[in-house]
Amino acid sequence: MLNHPALELVAQKSAPESFAPEASVAVLIPCYNEELTIENVVCQFKKELPDAHIYVFDNNSSDRTAEKARQAGAIVIPEGRQGKGFVVQSMFRQVDADVYVMVDGDGTYSAGAVHELIEPVLKHKADMVVGSRLHADSQSQFKFLNRFGNKLFLFVLNLIFKVKLTDILSGYRVFSRKFVKGVPLFGGGFEIETELTIKALGRGYRVLEIPTDLTGRPEGSHSKINLFRDGFLILNTIVTLFRDYKPLTFFGGAGLLLIFGGFVPGFIVLFEFIKTGLVLRLPSAVLAVGLVVSGMLLITAGLILHTIVRRSQEFDHQLQALADELRFNRLLMANTDRGARK
Ligand SMILES: Nc1nc2c(ncn2[C@@H]2O[C@H](COP(=O)(O)OP(=O)(O)O)[C@@H](O)[C@H]2O)c(=O)[nH]1
Ligand SMILES: [Mg+2]
């Protein structure tokens, strides 16, 4: 198990969750036209986790995905809004469990690895465990462009959020109930994994990566990801969440750039003025003032937003503490009831 030192920077959430001794596990499989593989995926997870409920969220598949999943013993739930992100939003809202396993329906992840991924959540050591396909200990079959795209986004995200993650786009994850019920998600498509990772970091949840292998899809099965459209959406999500979660760095950085940009024409005008006593380049003077004033405005916006984000984080923390207390009381009452009945 890999407990990444950088991830320990992530603030620990308050009171530990108290799962019942027999914690319920839900396996969530988002699916769009996966008739070739879904049966096998459901059967393998049933074998590994015989007590778990397996949910296949079928997103308007035009093939026999739903039928095959049902035959294999999964609970099939249809989702009308097309897109993996919308499906994940529905899964998180509709399914009730203590531990949630999310995995692709294309059979590219190993069901056998699920125990290693679940353990940290069961032992209250993590709120989100990510099966990392790009870790040095993983043996993953990636297409060249996919590997390149993954590494590029990884580099940008690690730089912005000052972490050392090894995979931000993995579809194999395990979540605690607190995470699933506490994180608001808005992404509709393949940007959902990026959103899950950034919001987990930004909101102080404990994130853990465990190396997992990725195998290729079988002959005739096709990935639904569109490199350019989805790549753009993922980048857009990183930038948007950077703005929302670190406004001072985002606006402050842009503001400083403008101010330094304004120094160039500003100094030229200033030196000429010192030498000749005249402002010979009026447009340069106006440009310099414009850039510096715009930069200062951006920094001010960053400072205001930073305070708002801090305050809302405090508010969020208090809400989480309240939710923890309610959950704890509910479990206590359930245990007392059980004891009284015995
Ligand atoms: N429900 C739903 N699932 C989707 C959609 N697009 C892809 N998926 C599923 O999401 C998982 C990951 O998609 P995949 O094409 O394997 O992406 P990749 O692993 O990045 O190549 C698979 O189980 C797909 O069936 C969609 O629009 N709706
Ligand atoms: Mg896949």
Q: Residue 290 is encoded by which pair of tokens?
A: 């414009």
Over range 1-24, report the average pLDDT. Answer: 47
Find out whether the beta carbon of 77 lies less than 6 Å from any atom of ligand 1. no
Task: Report the pLDDT averaged over residues 25-38.
Answer: 97
**Exposure of 268 by Cβ count < 10 A (0-12 exposed, 13-18 middle, 19+ buried)?**
middle
Half-sphere exposure of 77 (CA within 13 A, CB side): 21
Specify the 3-state DSSP secondary structure of 132: strand
Residues 293, 298, 301, 302, Cα dihedral to 10°: -140
Q: What residue owns the CA closest to ligand 1's atom 25?
A: 31
- 5-14, 158-167, 177-186, 226-235: lowest mean pLDDT where? 5-14
pLDDT surpassing 80 at residue 131:
yes
- Asked if residue 55 lies in contact with residue 38, where contact means CB atoms within 8 angstroms, the answer is no
Q: Which is more confident, 93 or 22?
A: 93
pLDDT in tens, 108-130: 999 999 999 999 999 999 999 99
Which of helix, strand or coil describes residue 38? helix
Ligand 1 centroid vs 318 CA: distance in angstroms?
Answer: 36
Nearest alpha carbon, ligand 1 atom 5 = 84
**Smallest-distance ligand from the CA of 84:** 1
Q: Which two tokens stand for residue 230?
A: 């989805």
Which of the listed residues 39, 40, 84 should we mutate to test ligand 1's pocket, taking the one with most ligand atoms within 8 A of CB? 84
Instruction: Examine the pLDDT at 136 and tell me if it is beyond 60.
Output: yes
Ligand 1 centre distance from Cα of residue 33 (Å): 9
- % of residues, the chain, pLDDT over 90: 77
More confident site: 36 or 142: 36
CA distance 15 to 317: 11
**Does pLDDT of 1 surpass 50?**
no
Residue of 27, 32, 173, 234 to test ligand 1 pocket, by largest number of atoms within 8 Å of CB: 32
Give yes or no for residue 223 CB within 6 A of ligand 1.
yes
Say yes or no: CB of residue 226 within 6 Å of ligand 1. no
Residues whose beta carbons lie less than 5 angstroms from ion ligand 2: 104, 106, 108
Residue 103 burial (10 A CB sphere; 0-12, 13-18, 19+)? buried
Is the CB of 171 within 6 Å of ligand 1?
A: yes
**Mean pLDDT along residues 76-101:** 96
341 C-alpha to ligand 1 centroid (Å): 46
CB 117 within 8 A of CB 167: no
Q: Name the residue type at position 138.
A: S
